[in-house]
Amino acid sequence: MTTGITRRMRGRWIAGFVVVVALAAGAQQMHEPAPSRAPAAVPIDMYIHQAWQSLRRSMNECGSLVDPKVKTRPVLYLPVDLRQPAEVAALTRTCGVEVKRLPVKIDEIGQELPPLQPGLLYLPNPYIVPGGRFNEMYGWDSYFMILGLIQDGQTALARGIVENFFFEIEHYGGILNANRTYYLTRSQPPFLSSMIRAVWEAEVQAGDRKGADAWLDRAYGFAQRDHAFWMRPEMRAGDTGLQRYWDYGSGPVPEMGDDPTYYRTVIRWLVAHPAVRTGYLVDGPAHPARADWARIAAISCDPATSPICSREHVGTHWLTREFYKGDRADRESGFDTTFRFGPFGGSTEDYAAVGLNALLYKYEMDLAWMASQLGRADEAKSWQAQAEARRAAMDRYLWNAQKGMYFDYDFATGEQSSYNFLTTFYPLWAGAASVEQARRVEANLNLFEHDGGPAVSTTNSGEQWDLPYGWAPTTWLAADGMARCGDRPDALRVARAFTATVRASYQRSGTIVEKYNVVTGSQQFQVLAGYRQNVVGFGWTNAVYERLEQMLHGPALLKMPRPKGGPIRTPFVPRS
């Protein structure tokens, strides 16, 4: 948690940040990525259909082991109690990969383990990767890609991905950020219950209600275990009754190995902007020697356990231990990076986030629905009560009646944030917003809207999860959320703008990418620090484009009548 000094400074960084943000925006020079193929070589729908195969990975392919983020020899880890599968034995012969067993049984995320080499964690079923440097199965990415796979008629592959998450819960302690050893300390936004429902509904629609219900009975147990992770004491946002993001690790993250200047760039930015008072910097040795390691470990990071720690300083300036906790929690949120939780996400662990708690509200309502489907009425009532308690806490701490929006809550200072972020639409998608709250949020859509679609925030910080960038997952949840609440015109307008940007950019470059500049309606991308690529692929953009096109042109949710008193498709009585 943030120190007392940092807490006192928290209110000051916002004012200083407003002054420098325009300078950061002006310093950026955008460039359109060079096309990787002839523009519009195939129709966009065909590109997406073919991409599912090119993004598919499994344990019998050498390419699945490669990690562009960490330049070490590929290592594949098996659970300590799992018999070596035949395809893994073949990998050692055909790919030259080193196969190891985890040294102990892992019961929970963040469990203390002996040092491990960076490596891939075994999964039994094929899965889809986002693309580019992201060559593993990610948590929240997979939900959106599952929606795309189901629409593409690949329900079996979608179900196999969900089964992989069950395997992670059973053998790696929970749903991981992704299946690499350096992700064993954190998860990602909780979408498992939504994945389960999507697959169940697809199988029922295909005519296999009996098989779908039998699978749901098994899935319900894993969903409860995943939900329990978010209820652990470390995930509590103080005494608010809400949850926060938290990484059990410490120090700089290994996956930034392909951008070894990131943390030093952060330090230089903080030094260059003294008006932005964060408390993220601490004085340390300018020329660290081994004799300094104990002191460095006490104030910043531990050189004995982190191979990059000792170089992550600029002169005498080092990042605090608290900054690294926030940096890691920001990565669990999936929004790495943004200035929403302090510059470069350095205070993420001190916030009850709107998105996280809306997703957990939906999770609890989904668990109530599962229990009801399985004939467990008492359990259904218990889950619904938990969801209603969370909704009440969201209304108390996250809802701003004056502005008509949801904001994150800094429980360390007892203050609600004023940072406009597109997650304000998550409660609409989750069914947590009342009719009046939904109407008020929808009235603020203009804050985020641009010709190319909705930007993720209204602040141009220079980082990728801020203005001027728009992203597929947040666009889908905003559009689908408004659609569920009956706001068809706004949902359709957002869908039309974003799909037009994706399609026009595809016509120019022949590629679909991770995010878009929605101000210019293009793939233009450049950031102050962090991920410097606009990765081609791209799993969740492909999926969301197809779903938004269905919303615009196909038999979709929009054709359903709005129920009196609340959002569409809530599993129990809608809010009034």
Report, as residue numbers or ranges, the catalytic residues.
336, 514
Q: Are 157 and 126 in contact (CB under 8 A)?
A: yes
- 8-state DSSP, 205: H
DSSP string for residues in 402-470? TTTEE--EETTTTEE----BGGGGHHHHHT-S-HHHHHHHHHTGGGTEETTEE-SBS---SSTTSTTEE
Could you give the 3-state DSSP secondary structure of residue 128?
strand
Could you give the 3-state DSSP secondary structure of residue 121?
strand
Alpha carbon distance 298, 321 (integer Å):
8
Alpha carbon distance 324, 300 (integer Å):
8
Residue 94 class from Cβ within 10 Å (0-12 exposed, 13-18 middle, 19+ buried)?
Answer: exposed
Alpha carbon distance 172, 182 (integer Å):
12
Q: Are 217 and 279 in contact (CB under 8 A)?
A: no
Give just the sign of the alpha carbon dihedral 287, 293, 295, 298.
positive
Measured from the Cβ of residue 504, the count of other Cβ atoms closer than 10 Å reads 14
How do strand 120-121 and strand 75-78 relate by DSSP bridges?
Answer: parallel
- 8-state DSSP, 418: -
Token pair for 189: 């936004």
Q: Are 79 and 102 in contact (CB under 8 A)?
A: yes
Tell me which residue of 572, 402, 558 sits closest to 485, measured CA to CA.
558
Residues 6+ apart with CB under 8 A from 559: none
Measured from the Cβ of residue 42, the count of other Cβ atoms closer than 10 Å reads 14
Alpha carbon distance 121, 125 (integer Å):
12
Helix (H) or strand (E) segment spanning residue 442: helix 435-443
- 8-state DSSP, 276: S
Instruction: Measure Cα distances from 72 to 58, 68, 69, 96 in Å.
Output: 20, 9, 9, 13
Residues 6+ apart with CB under 8 A from 475: 422, 453, 454, 494, 498, 544, 548
Tell me which residue of 251, 234, 248, 246 sits closest to 324, measured CA to CA.
251
- List the Cα angle 508/512/518 in 5-degree steps: 75
- List the Cα angle 276/25/281 in 5-degree steps: 25
- The count of residues in the chain is 576
Alpha carbon distance 190, 326 (integer Å):
19
Alpha carbon distance 538, 225 (integer Å):
30
Amino acid at 88: V
